[in-house]
């Protein structure tokens, strides 16, 4: 797949103009115009790879490679800010409005996510429309396969829109005529369309990820079922969410990784840390837990760019600014600590900050091991003989003021000796993995007031981590949200999870002192970008409550 993504990025830019052809009153003078490209199975492969590339650009910044999300911090970080897991104080200025819950209607990330999602949707709709026109297929099953991919991506983009903005226009075809009279489709109706799309995708995407011609990063019906479970939870249809999650778990293709695997299986570490080592995200490494991995591989045509996936920079401290430290791949590469973990969950690990040593982790939980949360830092600059090899203390100042040293999740460590100052993380990223499927299943059981089965689902994940079982009597939504931190911190978009579970306000009040007296229900949604409302002159397009 990667060898055609670069071409497809150019196609994405061009086909996004296809829907405005009459408005522009000019013809596309290129062989990559939709009418020339979507004429064969190969043309749809190119368009499909472009959709994958556009989807990956959610993690881009500065717009490199034509990405729609850009400027300042990676916008992904704004979905961790003002939640219950990270402090964003003194961070990149582009996150300030999210850290303070004072998001203006002109906020650029709010517009970036809106534009990105509708770019994915318009590109998916284009593929769907041309799939009905094309008759030149290599196989009779090609048409429905590409339609399944397109409908998955359309639902995936609407997932972001619904979480962030609530009611949004639902568009399911190419809009050839320039329109200024969009209306906001009710959230419940949009979710219904998402479910229809994902059911179609689950029925028609490939089922076997182990066939010889299966490409890394490609969707399967199980990726669609995983997302379908989440969307059913958004809808409040808990029995359906249960069945969608069980379909993945019982498919026979996936399992929680319980023994060491991959590139460093014979070196120090544990099975949880193995999941996040470079080259361990795809099935060829032996990873049977990964359901869908976004492809950012280093130095590969169609792989990542230097502006892709800055998650490492977000979570890793700015240690290299301390005298006695130099950049090192073993310390995670270059970090700037735009997101700083809160003490209540990460703990202090027995440093001179003596409060809450273990956080929310049990003593035997490998997710709290030194391989997964780095709490001990040692000066590594051999040119500084006075400090080299000595332990550097984590203090209140290094943690929350200078953000140069603090307990750090290692799952996003990334560095390369040839360029330790790399900004991007050229490491494939697991978007869906089976551990989360179990946690979605637990959420579905809690929705059916069945804490016993919810505990069973959570305990599958906890046993892999070596943690003690949770009893049914202790199994509630707060425990599940804590478990999602232990397992998925930094991987999930935390704001989405808290909004879906209707715990956003409660959790921010309980765990984010800077915002406890400020947060309210209005903050569950972002503002509709003002430029969108200003342009929609033909029909009312109301703003979300709490925003001017």
Percent helix, strand, coil in the chain, to 5, is 45, 5, 50
Q: What is the largest CA-CA distance in the chain?
A: 73
Provide DSSP, 446-468: HHTT-HHHHHHHHHHHHHHTTPP
Strand partners, 374: 408
Portion of the chain with pLDDT greater than 90, in percent: 76
Which has more pLDDT, 370 or 6?
370
Calculate the alpha carbon distances from 508 to 15, 18, 53, 340 in Å: 41, 43, 34, 15
> Under 8 Å CB-to-CB from 14, ≥6 apart: which residues?
28, 30, 32, 33, 34
From the number of C-beta atoms within 10 Å of its C-beta (0-12, 13-18, 19+), residue 330 rates as exposed
For 285-309, the pLDDT digits (tens) are 999 999 999 998 876 766 777 788 8
Give the up-direction half-sphere exposure of residue 527: CA atoms within 13 A in the CB hemisphere.
Answer: 21
pLDDT, mean over the chain: 90
pLDDT of residue 43 exceeding 80: yes
Write the secondary structure of 43-106 as one string of H (helix), E (strand) and C (coil): HHHHHHHHHHHHHHHHHECCCHHHCCCCCCCCHHHHHCCCCCCEECCCCCHHHHHHHHCCCCCC
pLDDT of residue 111 exceeding 80: yes
pLDDT of residue 91 exceeding 80: no
Q: Can you tell me the distance from the alpha carbon of 486 to that of 258, in angstroms, rounded to the nearest whole number?
A: 17
Buried/exposed 277-304: b ≥16 CB within 10 Å, e otherwise: bbebbbbebbbbbbbbbbbbbbeeebbb
pLDDT of residue 81 exceeding 70: yes
> Among 185-194, 290-299, 515-524, 536-545, which stretch is predicted with the lowest mean pLDDT?
290-299
In the prediction, which pLDDT does 18 show?
A: 36
In the prediction, which pLDDT does 178 show?
A: 76
Q: Can you tell me the distance from the alpha carbon of 146 to that of 205, in angstroms, rounded to the nearest whole number?
A: 8
pLDDT of residue 23 exceeding 80: no
Architecture of domain 2-308+528-535: Alpha Horseshoe (1.25)
In the prediction, which pLDDT does 175 show?
A: 80
For 201-210, the pLDDT digits (tens) are 999 999 999 9
> Among 220-234, 417-431, 447-461, which stretch is predicted with the lowest mean pLDDT?
417-431
In the prediction, which pLDDT does 302 show?
A: 66
The candidate with the shortest Cα–Cα distance to 428, out of 309, 301, 337, 254, is 309
pLDDT of residue 5 exceeding 60: no
Q: Can you tell me the distance from the alpha carbon of 295 to that of 300, in angstroms, rounded to the nearest whole number?
A: 10
When pLDDT is averaged across residues 262-274 and rounded to a whole number, the result is 96
pLDDT of residue 13 exceeding 70: no
In the prediction, which pLDDT does 35 show?
A: 85
For 381-395, the pLDDT digits (tens) are 999 999 999 999 999
For 236-249, the pLDDT digits (tens) are 999 999 999 999 99
Tell me the whole-structure pTM to 2 decimals. Answer: 0.93
The candidate with the shortest Cα–Cα distance to 146, out of 194, 203, 213, 204, is 204
Which has more pLDDT, 65 or 383?
383
pLDDT of residue 17 exceeding 50: no
Name the residue ranges covered by the structural domains of the chain: 2-308+528-535
Local confidence band at 355 (pLDDT 50, 70, 90 cut-offs): low
Give the Cβ contact number of residue 31 at 10 Å. 8
Local confidence band at 25 (pLDDT 50, 70, 90 cut-offs): very low
Give the Cβ contact number of residue 216 at 10 Å. 16
pLDDT of residue 188 exceeding 60: yes
In the prediction, which pLDDT does 2 show?
A: 40
Q: Can you tell me the distance from the alpha carbon of 130 to that of 141, in angstroms, rounded to the nearest whole number?
A: 16
Q: Can you tell me the distance from the alpha carbon of 210 to that of 6, in angstroms, rounded to the nearest whole number?
A: 26
Portion of the chain with pLDDT greater than 70, in percent: 91
326 alpha-carbon distance from chain centroid: 30
In the prediction, which pLDDT does 304 show?
A: 76
Tokens of 395: 């203090």
pLDDT of residue 11 exceeding 70: no
pLDDT of residue 352 exceeding 70: no
In the prediction, which pLDDT does 27 show?
A: 37
Distant-in-sequence contacts of 59-65, Cβ < 8 A, 24+ apart: 59/294, 59/296, 59/308, 59/309, 59/310, 59/311, 59/429, 60/305, 60/307, 60/308, 60/309, 61/307, 61/310, 62/307, 63/307, 64/305, 64/306, 64/307, 64/308, 65/9, 65/305, 65/307, 65/308
When pLDDT is averaged across residues 97-121 and rounded to a whole number, the result is 94
Q: Are strands 340-341 and 391-392 parallel, antiparallel or unpaired?
A: unpaired
The candidate with the shortest Cα–Cα distance to 155, out of 115, 184, 123, 196, is 196
Contact 108, 118 (CB under 8 A): no
**Beta strands of 174-307 (E only): which ranges?**
290-294
Calculate the alpha carbon distances from 245 to 224, 231, 437, 442, 475 in Å: 10, 11, 6, 9, 19
Local confidence band at 153 (pLDDT 50, 70, 90 cut-offs): very high
CA dihedral angle for residue 331, residue 334, residue 337, residue 342, rounded to 10 degrees: -20
Which has more pLDDT, 434 or 11?
434
In the prediction, which pLDDT does 357 show?
A: 79
In the prediction, which pLDDT does 455 show?
A: 99
115 alpha-carbon distance from chain centroid: 17
In the prediction, which pLDDT does 426 show?
A: 83
Strand partners, 377: 392
> Among 87-101, 157-171, 256-270, which stretch is predicted with the lowest mean pLDDT?
87-101
CA dihedral angle for residue 183, residue 188, residue 191, residue 193, rounded to 10 degrees: -60
Contact 458, 436 (CB under 8 A): no
């Amino acid at each position: 797949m990667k060898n055609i993504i670069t071409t497809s990025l150019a196609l994405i830019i061009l086909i996004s103009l296809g829907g405005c052809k009459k408005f522009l009153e000019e013809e596309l003078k290129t062989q990559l115009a939709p009418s020339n490209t979507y004429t064969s199975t190969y043309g749809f492969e190119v368009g499909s790879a472009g959709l994958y590339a556009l989807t990956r650009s959610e993690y881009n910044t500065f717009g490199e490679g034509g990405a729609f999300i850009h400027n300042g911090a990676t916008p992904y970080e704004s979905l961790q800010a003002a939640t219950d897991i990270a402090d964003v104080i003194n961070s990149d200025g582009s996150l300030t409005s999210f850290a303070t819950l004072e998001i203006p209607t002109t906020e650029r990330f709010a517009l970036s996510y809106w534009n990105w999602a509708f770019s994915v949707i318009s590109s998916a709709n284009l593929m769907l429309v041309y799939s009905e026109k094309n008759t030149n297929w290599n196989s009779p099953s090609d048409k429905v396969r590409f339609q399944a991919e397109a409908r998955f991506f359309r639902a995936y983009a609407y997932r972001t829109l619904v979480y962030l903005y609530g009611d949004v226009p639902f568009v399911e075809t190419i809009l050839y005529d320039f329109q200024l009279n969009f209306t906001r489709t009710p959230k419940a109706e949009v979710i219904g369309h998402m479910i229809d799309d994902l059911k179609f995708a689950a029925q028609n995407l490939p089922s076997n990820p182990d066939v010889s011609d299966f490409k890394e990063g490609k969707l399967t019906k199980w990726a669609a079922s995983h997302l379908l479970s989440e969307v059913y939870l958004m809808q409040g249809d808990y029995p359906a969410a249960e069945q969608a999650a069980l379909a993945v778990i019982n498919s026979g293709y996936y399992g929680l990784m319980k023994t060491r695997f991959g590139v460093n299986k014979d070196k120090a570490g544990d099975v949880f840390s193995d999941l996040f080592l470079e080259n361990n995200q795809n099935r060829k490494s032996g990873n049977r837990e990964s359901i869908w991995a976004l492809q950012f591989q280093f130095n590969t045509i169609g792989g990542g760019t230097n502006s892709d996936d800055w998650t490492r920079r977000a979570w890793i401290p700015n240690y290299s600014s301390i005298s006695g430290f130099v950049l090192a791949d073993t310390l995670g590469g270059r970090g700037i600590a735009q997101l700083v973990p809160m003490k209540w969950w990460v703990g202090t690990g027995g440093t001179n900050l003596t409060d809450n040593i273990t956080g929310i982790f049990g003593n035997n939980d490998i997710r709290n091991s030194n391989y997964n949360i780095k709490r001990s830092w040692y000066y590594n600059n051999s040119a500084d003989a006075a400090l080299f090899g000595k332990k550097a203390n984590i203090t209140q100042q290094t943690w929350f003021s200078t953000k140069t040293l603090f307990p750090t999740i290692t799952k996003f460590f990334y560095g390369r000796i040839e360029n330790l100052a790399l900004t991007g993380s050229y490491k494939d990223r697991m978007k869906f993995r089976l551990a989360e499927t179990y946690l979605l299943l637990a959420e579905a059981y809690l929705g059916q007031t069945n804490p016993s089965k919810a505990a069973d689902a959570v305990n599958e994940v906890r046993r892999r981590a070596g943690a003690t079982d949770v009893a049914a009597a202790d199994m509630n939504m707060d425990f599940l949200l804590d478990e999602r931190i232990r397992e998925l911190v930094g991987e999930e978009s935390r704001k989405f999870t808290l909004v879906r579970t209707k715990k956003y306000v409660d959790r921010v009040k309980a765990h984010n002192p800077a915002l406890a007296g400020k947060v309210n229900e209005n903050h569950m949604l972002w503002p509709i970008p003002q430029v969108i409302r200003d342009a929609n002159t033909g029909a009312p397009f109301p703003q979300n409550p709490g925003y001017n």
